[in-house]
Structure 1
């Protein structure tokens, strides 16, 4: 792992000392699961289960916070099995899907969430016309229930199609009071009243946390980093982790530590687990 500053090293040390009261929040795609061309094949890293179970024994709770629908993340990540193992150790695994609109936990094993936002159905009906106009008919459209994601990754000119589509989809979304969340060759359209930062604040309040760690890789994780900055001003130990890639660099500028993708995230979590255990010994 690579700390971005001496302050980052100090923040890591503070988190280790406070580990028993710390919540570790993790994005899914690009953080726990490698980025792949087909979103339906984005399975969690094979070593993640054991790492998360060991980590949970040293911290207050582990939370996966993703833009994916909760059921999809549970299945691709095998997170119900992970939750069983964490629950057996007397700890809790949380899953927040659709940027926090859906919630599941290893104790309350039911996905709770709202109805799709107003305007989304009309947006979907109008979307094919916009794709044709922008020469992006081959873009993959993913219906997430509470959101719609337009993927350009599989197109010949993925970056060019993304740049053409982004302003067009912003315009269409604004006419239906929806929010656009750009990511790595994907543009997601959803309700704007929930984001990952709100999840961080909600968990911090509910669990009366003693600190917070969050690892992410894309623009949708910036609100979580913002929330950690607020918690830090309240005196809580925090650590912002960037799962780095060549496609997205925005988080690296804000992170305390930068690691090489999901494998690097898991290596850092192993180190955090070992250091926390040594501190408590």
Structure 2
């Protein structure tokens, strides 16, 4: 674990002091779950359930804010059971799926979701032709219901394929009034008007949180980092955590703390739990 500056250390101390009224926001892939080639095979770190339940003893709420569908995050993370254990302690676990378009909580225990965006079905019909023309027809296409993600991780030169596909996929998305969300060797296409930053602001307002921590690992988390930075300017105690990635140095530069992947995230959460408990 590396504090980026003395200011980062001070922000950690201020967050711990306000822990009882704090919300901890966490990305899923690369933060709670190691990155794998097949996104359907991702699993939460085995220590995460116990760490999250322990953390719930000292904070107001925990929110998993992810690009994945909420139902998928619940299944891959065993988060339904984690939420049940957290609820037994009088606290709340939230899942904001698909960048905040879907919502689940350990109290309501059902997913609230809008209809798929207009234009997504026609985008999907045009997608195979774009992949074929740009020598990426073996890219893994993940249909999420409210979005579609094109993963280049399985291709021979994943980074080159990503750079090759980003411009045409962005152009195709614009034709269908959709937006592009770049990630770590994944390009996601979805409706506009909702992002992780909006989810951060929503939960802070609803819970009247006095402190907020967000941990993420790639460009899809920049909006959340920006939202937390604005909350800091408004007087909240905040902490920004980058789940370290050589691929996303830009996110690391925005962080107060850089940790070594999901293992490092859990180490930090254990430390917060211990320090906040006094």
What are the superposed Cα offsets for residues 217-242 of structure 1, whole Å, 9 maximum, x if unpaired? 01011111111111111111000000
Cα deviation, residue 246, structure 1: 2.3
**Residue 109 of structure 1: aligned partner:** 109
CA distance in structure 2 between the partners assigned to 1:52 and 1:79 by the alignment:
10
CA distance in structure 2 between the partners assigned to 1:202 and 1:181 by the alignment:
20
State whether structure 2 residue 41 is matched by structure 1 residue 38.
Answer: no
CA distance in structure 1 between the partners assigned to 2:228 and 2:234 by the alignment:
10
> After TM superposition, what 4+ stretches of structure 1 lie above 6 angstroms from structure 2?
none
SS of residue matched to 1:29:
coil
Identify unmatched segments of 5+ residues in structure 2.
none
CA distance in structure 2 between the partners assigned to 1:166 and 1:57 by the alignment:
43
Normalising by structure 2, we get a TM-score of: 0.99
After the TM superposition, which residues 119-268 of structure 1 pair with which residues of structure 2 at under 5 Å, given as runs?
Answer: 119-268=119-268
Cα deviation, residue 35, structure 1: 0.1
SS of residue matched to 1:251:
helix
CA distance in structure 1 between the partners assigned to 2:250 and 2:66 by the alignment:
18
CA distance in structure 2 between the partners assigned to 1:88 and 1:5 by the alignment:
38
SS of residue matched to 1:248:
helix
CA distance in structure 2 between the partners assigned to 1:44 and 1:107 by the alignment:
22
**Residue 55 of structure 2: aligned partner:** 55
What are the superposed Cα offsets for residues 31-89 of structure 1, whole Å, 9 maximum, x if unpaired? 00000000011100000000000001100000000000010000000000000110011
**Residue 27 of structure 1: aligned partner:** 27
Aligned length: 278
Cα deviation, residue 113, structure 1: 0.8
**Residue 91 of structure 1: aligned partner:** 91
SS of residue matched to 2:213:
strand
Normalising by structure 1, we get a TM-score of: 0.98
Cα deviation, residue 91, structure 1: 0.3
Cα deviation, residue 22, structure 1: 0.4
What are the superposed Cα offsets for residues 71-112 of structure 1, whole Å, 9 maximum, x if unpaired? 000000000000011001110000010000000000000000
What are the superposed Cα offsets for residues 217-276 of structure 1, whole Å, 9 maximum, x if unpaired? 010111111111111111110000000122222210100000000000000000000000
**Residue 73 of structure 2: aligned partner:** 73
CA distance in structure 1 between the partners assigned to 2:231 and 2:171 by the alignment:
34
The worse-fitting range, judged by mean Cα deviation, of 210-219 and 244-253 is 244-253
Aligned alpha-carbon RMSD (Å): 0.5
**Residue 275 of structure 1: aligned partner:** 275
